[in-house]
């Protein structure tokens, strides 16, 4: 049993971080810097992004993003997600973790890299009315949609499977608006009500649609090329992500609720993962080490001045 658990833990860490020990080389950067970052210990962002529900939130965010044909075109035309899904996953995780736990300068450098990638992503797509439209990944509409999908997914999943958020849902939305602005989002929502109203506005405007590309993406997200031992747990988390969507969102994606209590089953999976990985990630530990060093340096300076 221990060897099975160790093997599953290794597969999980390799999937999430690209390394067997859960500490990729770039985590070392999080120990560097001279400030606590944009958020810091006790913040809503640290609470949400440090929780196990992020595993389900990532699945949910991909599903929601796929509903916008412009956002999906950028993924299909430019991403190697089918050839190298784990590479794309770890790249996204790196940006999320760096902005959440890194110092401000490191977060800004990571976001500048994302903006640079966005400048190259462009093409055409067919909108929900059948009209061909040009797109760039840096278009305000697409940036806003991806930010909304991400923020709503991480907030919704935390509310379903984790504890209270420091300051509440509005605090998380307000804090994470900073991350949106770092990659070019203008006027990101500051409250949970505004966040969800804007998501609804996209649907009401007839911007979202389902087509063969959406179906293909959903099939891939449902059955990714993971290690065989991880698939049962992943399928439960996928069902949990689907259950967390609204009825209209599920209908648009061609999905239906699982024939079992997906929310409770997903909670059981996440508790098991927490038991294996512990309550604190290597990224959070690196950030805390940086903050402790800054505090110690400040104390030394105060003593010297005295």
Residue the block writes with tokens 């949106």: 180
pTM, two decimal places: 0.91
pLDDT values of the chain reduced to their tens digit, one per residue, 306 residues: 445 455 555 555 555 555 555 577 888 899 999 999 999 999 999 999 999 999 999 999 999 999 999 999 988 887 766 655 555 666 788 899 999 999 999 999 999 999 998 999 999 999 999 999 999 999 999 999 999 999 999 999 999 999 999 999 999 999 999 999 999 999 999 999 999 999 999 999 999 999 999 999 999 999 988 878 888 999 999 999 999 999 999 999 999 999 999 999 999 999 998 888 877 888 999 999 999 999 998 877 766 665
| pLDDT value of position 228 | 84
* Residue 141, C-beta contacts closer than 8 angstroms, at least 6 positions apart: 70
Q: Quote the tokens at residue 208.
A: 């979202």
pLDDT tens digit sequence for 44-57: 999 999 999 999 99
């Amino acid at each position: 049993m221990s060897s099975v658990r160790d093997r599953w833990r290794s597969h999980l860490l390799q999937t999430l971080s690209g390394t067997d020990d859960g500490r990729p080389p770039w985590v070392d950067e999080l120990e560097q810097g001279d400030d606590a970052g944009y958020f810091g210990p006790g913040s809503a962002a640290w609470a949400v992004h440090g929780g196990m529900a992020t595993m389900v939130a990532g699945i949910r965010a991909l599903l929601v993003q796929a509903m916008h044909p412009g956002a999906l075109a950028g993924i299909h035309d430019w991403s190697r997600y089918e050839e190298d899904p784990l590479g794309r996953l770890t790249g996204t995780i790196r940006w999320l973790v760096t902005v959440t736990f890194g110092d401000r300068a490191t977060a800004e450098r990571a976001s500048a890299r994302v903006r640079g990638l966005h400048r190259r992503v462009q093409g055409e797509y067919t909108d929900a009315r059948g009209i061909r439209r040009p797109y760039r990944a840096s278009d305000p509409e697409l940036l806003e949609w991806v930010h909304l999908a991400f923020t709503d997914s991480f907030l919704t999943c935390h509310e379903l499977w984790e504890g209270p958020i420091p300051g509440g849902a509005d605090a998380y939305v307000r804090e994470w608006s900073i991350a949106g602005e770092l990659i070019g989002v203008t006027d990101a929502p500051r409250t949970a009500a505004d966040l969800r109203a804007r998501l609804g506005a996209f649907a009401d405007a007839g911007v979202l649609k389902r087509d063969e590309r959406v179906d293909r993406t959903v099939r891939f997200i449902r059955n990714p090329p993971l290690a065989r031992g991880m698939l049962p747990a992943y399928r439960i988390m996928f069902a949990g992500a689907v259950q967390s969507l609204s009825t209209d969102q599920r209908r648009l994606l061609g999905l239906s609720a699982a024939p079992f209590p997906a929310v409770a089953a997903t909670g059981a999976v996440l508790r098991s993962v927490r038991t294996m990985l512990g309550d604190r990630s290597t990224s959070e530990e690196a950030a805390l080490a940086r903050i402790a060093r800054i505090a110690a340096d400040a104390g030394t300076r105060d003593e010297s001045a005295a």
